[in-house]
Amino acid sequence: MLPTNLKERGKKMLKKCIPILLVTISFFLVWSPSLFADDNHAMPMLRMGVGARALAMGGAYVAEAHDASAGYWNPAGLSQIEFINLTFMYSASLSQDRQYNFFAYGHRFDFGALGLSWLGSGIKDVEEYGSSGDYKGNFNAMDNVFLFSYGNEAGKFLIGGTFKVINQKIDYSDSYSKTGVGFDAGLKYQATDEVTLGVAFKDLGTKVGEDRVPMNTRLGAALYPLSGFTFTTDVEKIEHRRDLKFHFGGEYTYEFTTDYFASLRGGVSDGSFSIGCGLKIYKFDLDYAYVTESEDFLKENHRISLSVTF
C-alpha cells in the first residue's frame, strides 16, 4: 500500500497532466491532416471492436467501458476496475475463413490500473498462385496486437493511455513480417450520476512497416435514466474520411438476486444492427452478440465473451 501523502501527490500530478494532454492531442488533431496527406485505411481490424456486450450495443462503448476491455475502447475506464478483471472474446461464423479473438487482463492498484490485452485477427489456408497461374500451396495471414494500458482518477475525470505493438505476418514461401507501434489516449467524465461522457483518440502515430494507420477519434455518452437501463451513443471519425459513423446501443438488466443478473441488448453500428444478451452469476459474466457487418460480403457473425472479476 502506498502512503496517503504519496497517493495525494499522484492525484495532483494527474490533474496537472490533463490540460497538457488535451493541448497535445489538440495539436496533433490540427496538424495531422497536413503532415500526412495520404488516404490510408491500413489495419481495419484495429477498428472492428471487441467484447460481446460492447458489440451487441452497436459498439457505442467509449463512455461505458469499465472492465479490462477498456484498454481497447477507452483506457481511462480501466480505473473503474475494482481489483482484477479477465475478459475473453471468441468470434464464430466469420465469413472468408477469418479469425478474430481478444483477451484482456486488468488489475487495479493504489497508483492506478494496469491493463494487458491481446487482439488476434487472421485468415488460414489461403491459396497461393504464381504469376503464371500455377498453384504453390496454402498460406496463413495473421495480425497480432499487444496493448499495454494505464488508467487512473483525477477528481471527476478518468484519464488513461495505451501503448500498442502490432505484428503483421504472412507465411509465404519467403516469410513476410512487419512490426509497428502506436498509442491511444482517453478521458472519461462523470457529469452526474445519470450521465458519463467519454472521448478516445486511437492510433496516434501508429505505423506498421511503411503503412500508417489512420487516427480514429470517438466521442461518446452513457445514460442511466432508470434502474436497470443503460443507453449509449458514440460518434466516430476516421482520419481522411469525410463521413462520420454513428453508434447507438441500449441495455436492460434485471436483477434476480444480488449475484444473479440477466440482460437484453440491442444496437446500431453505422447502419448495421446487432442484438445480444448476458448472464451474470456471482463473479462471472457470459455475454453473446449477433452482429451484422456493414459490408454485405462479410455477412453476419456471433461473438461470445466471458468475463471474470476477482
How confident is the model at residue 242, as a pLDDT? Answer: 82
The Cα 120–Cα 101 span in angstroms is 5
98: cell is 477469418
The Cα 110–Cα 3 span in angstroms is 10
297: cell is 460480403
How confident is the model at residue 24, as a pLDDT? Answer: 45
Q: Is residue 188 within 8 Å of residue 198, measured between CB atoms?
A: yes
- The SS3 of residue 187 is strand
- List, in order of start, the domains of the chain with CATH numbers: 4-309 (2.40.160.60)
Residue reference for cell 451513443 = 233
Q: Write the pLDDT tens digit of every residue in 273-283.
A: 999 999 999 99
Q: Which of 70, 167, 178 is nearest to 121 (CA)?
A: 167
Name the band, by pLDDT with cuts 50, 70 and 90, for residue 189: very high
Instruction: Please name the amino acid found at residue 267.
Output: G
Count of residues for the chain? Answer: 310
How confident is the model at residue 25, as a pLDDT? Answer: 45
Tell me the mean pLDDT in the region 180-187: 96
Tell me the mean pLDDT in the region 11-20: 50
